[in-house]
């Protein structure tokens, strides 16, 4: 699918993004091993979360997702999953394949996880290594580093694992395996990552211990987890395109309603504020264990900034959008410590630079990020998402502030995480 974008003269409106993808994955997987039924409202309906649901169904878990994005899921209990009779297809979802690896390592049966061409090239050694150390028998392609992943689980022993790379997916996989292990399992993170897993497991009755930061310990439970019904906050990664659009468009005011503002995820807000963006929170409240707010942003005069260190994992999926915002900021913005971008659905360092350069951006790739010099007036071009949903959304925002009409190829890639993105785009920009 191609989408041609003409820049709107002004933007005013309110948009409510789809449910948080990270929380939706976890709500489905954790409730699948709970002892009872749970209702999850505002479940993220994109392709990635549906891949997780299909895997759970193949493991014997009953669920129903209706047209209003309400998921009703009946947990099988910690010991109630069954051996699948075919390969579990994770599609394009790195979250699914890595978290499910941890869950399946604790099961006393054989399973195979696979995905699309992109997933088969993404690194899996980071999750396979600690799980095999715990006692799971795992075989994978390319020296146990890439999917497909074959797992013979059960008979796990708790470990203390110092993670070499910050990854909430790997942390979650180890904690899930720890629920089935003999003894305590502890994780030491190099820097704090999104903590949805810890919040949710603790709310479900898991024995989670928070040591001196950033150490987390889980003990195997003596009973099933309690089912957790919740309303999933709006995904801040899906809110991010509108936040950047509001800041860089010359005549805009956008309210993004019901957004999760967990402090481990709000790097995009912090980065924009450091650039001088007129952005603030209203109606702050809590849904379950997660903080939520409406985020409002207005047209802003931006200045350069540095994005590095602990800010990077808090904004990893939004870094291409921050690079776009930097095109409109005075001075040179540097994004570094983000080599992980090369291992996403596309090499997001390469794809961001390639596509924004087509539009006239003064941006250069670095081994671990970008350098962007601004301000630059972007011009129309024919650009491609490279089948990467984050790049597709970034280019949509770029087209809305460029001179002339911009055409985005493979614009339907947004369906991976934000199926109604283009409808929300039209709602904000058509007046």
Work out the number of other CB atoms within 10 angstroms of the CB of residue 386. 21
Percent of all residues in the chain with a pLDDT value above 90, rounded to a whole number: 96
- The CATH architecture that domain 21-231 belongs to is Alpha-beta prism (3.65)
Assigned superfamily of 3-19+233-429: Enolpyruvate transferase domain (3.65.10.10)
Does 213 score more than 90 pLDDT? Answer: no
Does 267 score more than 90 pLDDT? Answer: yes
Q: How far apart, in whole angstroms, are the C-alpha atoms of residue 174 and residue 168?
A: 10
Work out the number of other CB atoms within 10 angstroms of the CB of residue 4. 12
pLDDT level of residue 211 (50, 70, 90 thresholds): confident
Two structure tokens written together for 1: 């699918």
In angstroms, the Cα distances linking 397 to 7, 191, 248, 378, 426 are: 9, 30, 9, 11, 12
Mean pLDDT for the stretch of residues 361-378: 97
Q: Where are the domains of the chain?
A: 3-19+233-429, 21-231
Tell me, yes or no, if the two domains 3-19+233-429 and 21-231 fold the same way. yes
- Tell me the three state secondary structure of residue 431: coil
Q: Which residues are catalytic, by number?
A: 317
Contact 418, 46 (CB under 8 A): yes
**The three-state (H, E, C) secondary structure of 146-193, written as one string:** EEEEEEECCCEECCEEECCCCCHHHHHHHHHHHCCEECCEEEECCCCC
State residue 288's pLDDT score.
77
Mean pLDDT lowest among 107-116, 210-219, 243-252? 210-219
State residue 214's pLDDT score.
81
Mean pLDDT for the stretch of residues 95-123: 97
Work out the number of other CB atoms within 10 angstroms of the CB of residue 419. 17
Does 212 score more than 90 pLDDT? Answer: no
**The three-state (H, E, C) secondary structure of 115-157, written as one string:** CCCCHHHCCCHHHHHHHHHCCCEEEEHHHHCEEEEEEECCCEE
Instruction: Give 287-334 pLDDT, tens digit per residue.
Output: 878 999 999 999 999 999 999 999 999 999 999 999 999 999 999 999
Question: How far from chain centre, in Å, is Cα 46?
Answer: 12
Contact 191, 168 (CB under 8 A): no
Does 431 score more than 90 pLDDT? Answer: no
Does 2 score more than 70 pLDDT? Answer: yes
Burial of 122 (0-12, 13-18, 19+ CB in 10 A): middle
pLDDT level of residue 277 (50, 70, 90 thresholds): very high
Nearest alpha-carbon partner for 279 in 323, 243, 304: 243
Does 430 score more than 90 pLDDT? Answer: no
Mean pLDDT for the stretch of residues 164-171: 93
Contact 219, 209 (CB under 8 A): yes
Give pTM, 2 decimals: 0.90
State residue 289's pLDDT score.
83
Percent of all residues in the chain with a pLDDT value above 70, rounded to a whole number: 100
**CA angle in degrees (0–180, nearest 5) for 424-426-431:** 125
């Amino acid at each position: 699918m191609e989408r041609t974008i003409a820049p709107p003269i002004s933007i005013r409106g309110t948009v409510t993004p789809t449910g948080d993808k990270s929380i939706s994955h976890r709500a489905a997987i954790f409730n699948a091993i709970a002892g009872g039924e749970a209702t999850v409202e505002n479940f993220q309906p994109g392709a990635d979360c549906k891949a997780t649901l299909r895997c759970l169904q193949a493991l014997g878990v009953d669920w129903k997702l209706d047209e209003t994005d309400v998921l009703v899921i009946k947990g099988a209990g910690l010991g109630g999953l069954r051996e699948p009779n075919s390969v579990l297809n994770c599609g394009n979802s790195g979250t699914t394949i890595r978290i499910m690896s941890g869950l399946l390592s604790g099961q006393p049966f054989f399973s195979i996880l696979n995905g699309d061409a992109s997933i088969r090239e993404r690194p899996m050694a980071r999750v396979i290594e600690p799980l095999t150390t715990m006692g799971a028998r795992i075989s994978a392609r390319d020296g146990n580093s890439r999917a497909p992943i074959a797992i013979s689980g059960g008979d796990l022993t708790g470990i203390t694992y110092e993670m070499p790379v910050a990854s909430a997916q790997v942390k979650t996989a180890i904690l899930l395996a720890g629920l089935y292990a003999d003894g305590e399992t502890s994780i030491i993170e190099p820097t704090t990552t999104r903590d949805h897993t810890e919040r949710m497991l603790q709310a479900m009755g898991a024995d989670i211990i928070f040591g001196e930061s950033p150490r987390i310990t889980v003990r195997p439970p003596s009973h099933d987890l309690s089912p957790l019904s919740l309303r999933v906050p709006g995904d801040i990664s899906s809110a991010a395109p509108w936040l950047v659009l509001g800041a860089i468009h010359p005549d805009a005011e956008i309210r993004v309603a019901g957004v999760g503002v967990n402090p481990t995820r709000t790097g995009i807000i912090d980065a924009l504020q450091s650039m001088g963006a007129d952005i603030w929170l209203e109606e702050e409240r809590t849904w379950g264990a997660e903080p939520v707010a409406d985020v409002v942003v207005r047209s802003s005069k931006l200045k350069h900034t540095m994005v590095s260190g602990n800010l990077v994992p808090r904004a990893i999926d939004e870094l291409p959008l921050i690079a776009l915002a930097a095109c409109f900021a005075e001075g040179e913005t540097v994004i570094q410590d983000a080599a992980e971008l090369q291992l996403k659905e596309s090499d997001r360092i390469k794809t961001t630079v390639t596509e924004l350069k087509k539009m006239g951006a003064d941006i250069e790739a670095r081994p671990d990020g970008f350098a962007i010099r601004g301000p630059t007036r972007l011009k129309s071009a024919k650009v491609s998402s490279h089948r990467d949903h984050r790049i597709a959304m970034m280019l949509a925002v770029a087209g809305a502030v460029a001179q002339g009409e911009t055409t985005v190829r493979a614009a339907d890639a947004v369906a991976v995480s934000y199926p109604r993105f283009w409808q929300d785009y039209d709602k904000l920009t058509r007046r």
